[in-house]
Each structure stands twice: as C-alpha cells, then as structure tokens.
Amino acid sequence: MLIVLIAALLGPVLPMEAAAGEISYRTVENIPYREGAGVSPETTKSCVLDLYYPENVKDYATVIWFHGGGLTEGKKSIPEKLRNQGFAVASVNYRLSPAVKSPVYVEDAAAAIAWIFKNIGHYGGSDRRIYLTGHSAGGYLVLMVGLDKHYLAAHGIDANRIAGLLPLSGQCITHFTVRKERGISDKQPIVDDMAPLYHVRADAPPLALITGDREQELLGRYEENAYLRRMMIIAGHRRTTLDEIPGKDHGGMVDPGLDLFLRHFHEMDGTNAPATSSPVPAGQR
C-alpha cells in the first residue's frame, strides 16, 4: 500500500471515462522506475512511466508501450486504441541518444519492465499477464529485452515470464542509432549483441512481428522481421508470427498495426476483445 500512496503523490490520479462492461480507469503519471542508492536525480527524473489501469478489475493484464523516435527523440503517451480495452497500459520514458549511449536505453527499458513485474500487483494487476509492445525504436527495445535475457536478469527477473512480445516495425539488426554512435552508416547492416537477431532462442515468449508494406517500410524493416521470424523458427521457436500491412509505410502502419496487436494480444491472453475494439481490416492477416 505504501508504494501506491507514494506513486499517487508523485503524479496526479486522473479519472477516466468508464468503458463497456462498467470498467473504470485511472492514470497515475510520472512514476519513477529508477531511483535509490547510486541513481542520480537526473536519471530518476528522466526514467518515469504513466500507468493507466482498470481500478475495479482484479488480476488484469498489462501492456507496456515504448514510444518510437529512433532512440533519439519521442516521449511517453498512451495510444487511444489501447485505452478502454480491459487491460492496463504502462507508457515509458527512457533516456535518449546522444545524451546517453548504447546500451543505456535498453537498460532503462528493462528497468521499467522490472518495475511493472514487481509493482503491478499493488494496483490489482497480474504479473503473469505482462505484454510488451512499441513502435519502431520502441519495438527494438521490446525485442532486445525480450530476447537477450541478461537485461531483466540484472533485476532478478526471467525474461521468459513475459507473456508476449508484439513489436510494431521493430529493428531486428543492430539499431541504426547504435551504429551511428559507432560511426557506422545506417545503410551498413550489422548483427552483433545489440541486434535482436543475435539472440534468437527456442524458449522465448510468444512473438508477434508486425510491419508495414515491404516496398514502403523503412530501410528493409519488413525483411529484417522476416529474417528474425525464419531464424526463430529454425532455432526451434514455435510461437513466432509475422504480419505485413499492405500499402502502409513505417509511420502509417501504426494505426492498423495496433488493430493487429489487439488480435494477437487476445489470442495470446486467451481473452475476448471488448465490443469497443476495432476489427482487423480485411487483407492484413
């Protein structure tokens, strides 16, 4: 209870409109997920998340959303399509390049995920129903933390406890900002320990990859995801899927991509979509 009281003091609790099924939601803003001994005040101020959750539901699922922006820009926000869905949404700020360098932003993502695992029960949620998603750079963070187990292991958490990884147009080779930090062109592909492809493994959580049209996506993003899917299957993983959204570029795929996210989420979670959910448009499966 003390954690809840502290979180409430750190940010205003905002009542939300009740959704279908008479579920009501609250948002707690700017909860610090990195603090304590050895953490600078600047880091604590930068590393915050907003938690939007159903206040009259128990053991609900939580979706952790990481914003895009090439690891150099962007800020937390909760996509409208993820609201009023019966689950909680945690939207995360993480430190950005060039103020920090690789792998700090991945470590921040892991710290935020670990905070949810350790604290969501205080808000009524289940730590067995935690899903990760995000667009572009956010999708890259999802894949890095979900596939390279050492980031969450630093917080005493097995990455295999994640219920599902559902990145939208995530980079699967070494991220172009990581390469830029090293003086490497964004047109020079690299696969090393900062690439999700480097960490393919059979025992990873369920993985749903979603991209835009291969002819309109950013720098071969569809092909990267297709290669990750193939290598996960070759490694023995049996729960990897890939959706390509025809006619949508890197930015335009987000809205229909969230529809696909919701479909995959409910399949993984074994739940039914609320009546308010948008149907998946025809031809995008």
pLDDT digits 0-9 by tens, 15-26: 333 344 589 999
Q: What is the mean pLDDT of the chain?
A: 91
Q: What is the pLDDT of residues 96-113, one digit of tens each?
A: 999 999 999 999 999 999
CA–CA gap between residue 152 and residue 142 (Å, rounded): 12
Picking from 28, 24, 205, the residue whose alpha carbon sits closest to that of residue 122 is 28
- pLDDT of residue 50 exceeding 70: yes
**239, part of any domain:** yes
| Least trusted range by pLDDT, from 15-24, 126-135, 261-270 | 15-24
84 located within any domain: yes
Contacts of 7 (CB under 8 A, 6+ apart): 28, 31, 51
Among 16-20, 71-75, 106-110, 209-213, the minimum mean pLDDT is found in 16-20
Confidence of residue 128 (pLDDT cuts 50, 70, 90): very high
277 pLDDT above the threshold of 60:
no
pLDDT of residue 275: 58
Q: Is 60 helix (H, G, I), strand (E, B) or coil?
A: strand
Q: Give the chain's largest Cα–Cα span.
A: 54
DSSP 120: G
Taking residues 181-193, what's their average pLDDT? 97
Q: Which residues contact 111 (CB under 8 A, 6 or more apart)?
A: 33, 34, 47, 155
- Residue 1 confidence (pLDDT) above 60: no
Both tokens assigned to 151: 């980031």
pLDDT confidence bin for 13, thresholds 50/70/90: very low
In-domain check, residue 19 = yes
- Tell me the pLDDT band of 272, cut-offs 50, 70 and 90: confident
Residue 102 forms part of a structural domain:
yes
Residue 284: inside a domain? no
Boundaries of domain holding 196: 2-269
In this structure, is residue 237 part of a structural domain? yes
Contact predicate 128/57, CB 8 Å: no
Any domain includes 17: yes
Give the number of other CB atoms < 10 A from CB of residue 79. Answer: 19
For 37, 39, 75, 232, the CA distances from 42, given in Å and listed in that order, are: 13, 8, 16, 38
Beta 164-168 vs 60-66: how paired, if at all? unpaired
| Residue 275 covered by a domain | no
The Cα–Cα gap between 145 and 17 comes to 33
Domain of 133, CATH number, reads 3.40.50.1820
Structural domains counted in the chain: 1
